[in-house]
Amino acid sequence: MEYRYLGNSGLMVSCLSLGGWVTYGGQVGPEIAQECMKVAFDLGINFFDTAEVYSGGQCEKDMGAAIRKFGWKRSDLVISTKLFWGGKGPNDRGLSRKHIIEGTNASLERLQLDYVDLLYAHRPDPDTPMEEIVRAFNHVIDQGKAFYWGTSEWSAQQITEAHTVAQRLNLIAPLMEQPQYNMFHRDRVEKEYMPLYKSFGLGTTIWSPLASGLLSGKYNDGIPSDSRLALKDNAVMKRYRDALETADGRVKLEKVAKLHLIAEKLECTSSQLALAWCLKNTNVSSVITGASKPSQVEENVKSLRVVPLLTEEIMRNIEEVLLNKPEQ
């Protein structure tokens, strides 16, 4: 495993990490979640990601149970959770001081942990003043309940505003952002955030590196019954399923088929190629993977071997398939 500094902090995260969206507490039971996390940990993954909203809190419970079951040393782990959608009440959502503090406490209780290493604002909250948000995350850090705070899917402008407020108040600014990044979704990481890597030392822990499995090639011959897109009562997955039927979806599937030929040339799987491509970007601190089977974790960790195979020529070949490089 390779470990990277998270932005300009002294914290090291495994460059591949494991998250529980859709899967843990939802698609699979606690035993599978535990098996996946065990395989990941044994292969050197130290960073595990969850959120208060994942499976209504069950994801945090199941991931926390795995941590306790295996008796891992807390200092060997980097655990993150994210706050924004904590329940149905008017104060159970958003980034008010009340929800940030109460949400953190509730997450820690479900995780059965004294602190998380990383705490994210899962989305921006334009209805709460930035000063309230920055002060609340600092309060949680001062209480020892989180070590670093960050954002998820905030615009460069919103991140800059948080830094400006933190600087003015002499408080801790957000360290890391959790954006979507994969071969089909590139603009934020490769263009919008570009100035922030230098000016703030922004770290990124990127999500959906396989575009929910699409880049593995598993959807090129229909929807496998044991895949997340087959989940019947999940509105997001229904949207993804429907998207595959659109013209844009068909173009993506064609690109996946072409990328498979490049993967074959490199003697790796399509998933490994897609993950290695994310890892090759040095502004990425950690690629948060997902897995509903331990074998997927094993396969995905082997993407590390593929990174050195991504020569300039191979990267050019990939661009010729993707045709979506953001203009600088």
The reply on whether position 303 binds ligand NDP by CB under 6 A is: no
147: three-class secondary structure by DSSP: strand
Mark the segment that binds ligand NDP (CB under 6 A) among 100-108, 125-133, 206-214, 276-284.
206-214
Q: How far is the CB of 299 from ligand NDP (least distance, A)?
A: 4
Applying CB under 6 A, among 93, 110, 145, 218 the residue interacting with ligand NDP is: 218
| Among the listed residues 213, 237, 285, 286, the single contact to ligand NDP using CB under 6 A | 213
Using the structure block, give the residue that is written with the tokens 């208060």: 52
Separation of alpha carbons 45 and 3, rounded Å = 9
- Does the protein bind ligand NDP through residue 181 (CB under 6 A)? no
Which residue of 178, 204, 285, 286 would you call a contact of ligand NDP, by CB under 6 A? 178
One residue of 81, 175, 296, 310 binding ligand NDP per CB under 6 A: 296
Q: What does the alpha-carbon distance between residue 299 and residue 115 come to, in Å, rounded to a whole number?
A: 31
Interface positions, 132-151, toward ligand NDP (CB under 6 A): none
Figure out which of the listed residues 100, 159, 291, 310 binds ligand NDP, where binding follows CB under 6 A: 291
Among 70, 66, 79, smallest CA distance to 14 is for: 79
Q: Between 285 and 292, name the residue whose CB sits nearer to ligand NDP.
A: 292
With contact defined as beta carbons under 8 Å apart, do 293 and 32 qualify?
yes
Does the footprint of ligand NDP cover residue 208 (CB under 6 A)?
Answer: yes
Nearest to 116 by CA among 86, 152, 94, 144: 144
User: 240 catalytic, yes or no?
Assistant: no
DSSP letters, 210-230, are TTTTGGGTTTBTB--TTSGGG
Residue the block writes with tokens 């948080």: 162
**Identified binder of ligand NDP from the candidate list 46, 212, 285, 286, rule CB under 6 A:** 212
The helix or strand, by DSSP H or E, that contains position 263, with its residue range, turns out to be helix 247-265
Are the beta carbons of 228 and 214 closer than 8 angstroms? no
Cβ 318 vs Cβ 275: under 8 Å: no
Task: State the minimum distance, in angstroms, from the CB of residue 168 to ligand NDP.
Answer: 27
Closest residue to ligand NDP, based on beta-carbon distance = 19
Q: Is 158 in the site for ligand NDP (CB under 6 A)?
A: no
298 binds ligand NDP (CB under 6 A): no
Q: Report the alpha-carbon distance of residue 121 to residue 154 in Å, rounded.
A: 9
Residue from 7, 21, 200, 304 binding ligand NDP (CB under 6 A): 21
For the record, the structure tokens of 275 come out as 């993950």
- Does position 46 bind ligand NDP by CB under 6 A? no
CB of 194 to ligand NDP, least distance (A): 20
For 50, 119, 208, the CA distances from 203, given in Å and listed in that order, are 18, 13, 17
**By CB under 6 A, is residue 26 in contact with ligand NDP?**
no
Number of residues lying near ligand NDP (CB under 6 A)? 29
Which residues have C-beta within 8 Å of that of residue 86, sequence separation ≥ 6?
52, 53, 92, 93, 99, 102, 103, 106
Choose the catalytic residue: 24, 54, 148, 193. Answer: 54
| Closest CB to ligand NDP among residues 190, 299 | 299
The structure tokens 């495993």 sit at 1
196 sits near ligand NDP (criterion: CB under 6 A): no
228 is a contact residue toward ligand NDP (CB under 6 A): yes
Active-site positions?
54
